[in-house]
Structure 1
Amino acid sequence: MRKIKLTRANKSITLKALAPYYYQQRALGYGTQEVGKLILKIDSLPTDKKATFSTEEIFLMRTAINRLRNERLSKGQYTDAADDMLIKLI
């Protein structure tokens, strides 16, 4: 378990990264319960407060954000917010 402070920008980028990951897992027929619970947990958290996340939740966030970052890099887009959130998760 680890506490992470989610700013408004980090909360937004994490949710933007997790949503496509959730739908991709769903389309492939994999379980989406963990990702769905994590999306609801992050969405319900107040901004600028520390929240406790399990190792599995951090791994899911890191995976989803890294995918979003790599997609943006391949399109030549900025990745500052994704990079900032990845640093918090490492």
Structure 2
Amino acid sequence: MMRKIKLTRANKSILLKALAPYYYQQRVLGHSTQEVGKLILKINALPADKKASFYAEEIFLMRSTINQLRNDQLAKGQYTDAADDMLLKLF
């Protein structure tokens, strides 16, 4: 099942910032990074302020990694407004 999400320039940046550590963590652990790598390339290639279609698995991965980024920021006492905004778009 596909779902369309509008990505602003800021949201693309947040997604890439959240997915990169996950990609490298999976790589270090010896797990497959093919799906994460494809998603990173897909997001990076999308023009800003356009709607893009994503599979449920991709949305779940984006939601999980952004939530982790948000929790890391909260633990450091940093603001999470941008991450919260992106999470709302994914629900």
Fold agreement, TM-score > 0.5: yes
Tell me, what secondary structure is at the counterpart of 1:53?
strand
Which amino acid in the other structure matches residue 15 of structure 1? L
- Following TM superposition, the consecutive aligned residue runs of length 4 or more in structure 1 with deviations greater than 4 angstroms are none
CA positional deviation for 1:67? 0.5
Unpaired runs of 5+ residues, structure 2, are none
Identity within the alignment, %: 80
Structure 1 residue runs of 5 or longer lacking an equivalent are none
Q: CA deviation at 1:87?
A: 0.3
Task: Kindly report the root-mean-square deviation, in angstroms, between the aligned alpha carbons of the 2 structures.
Answer: 0.4
Across the two proteins, how many residue pairs are aligned to each other? 90
Report what 1:20 is aligned to.
Answer: 21
TM-score by length of 2: 0.97
Query: Corresponding residue for 1:71?
Result: 72
- TM-score scaled by length of structure 1: 0.98
1:81 partner SS: helix
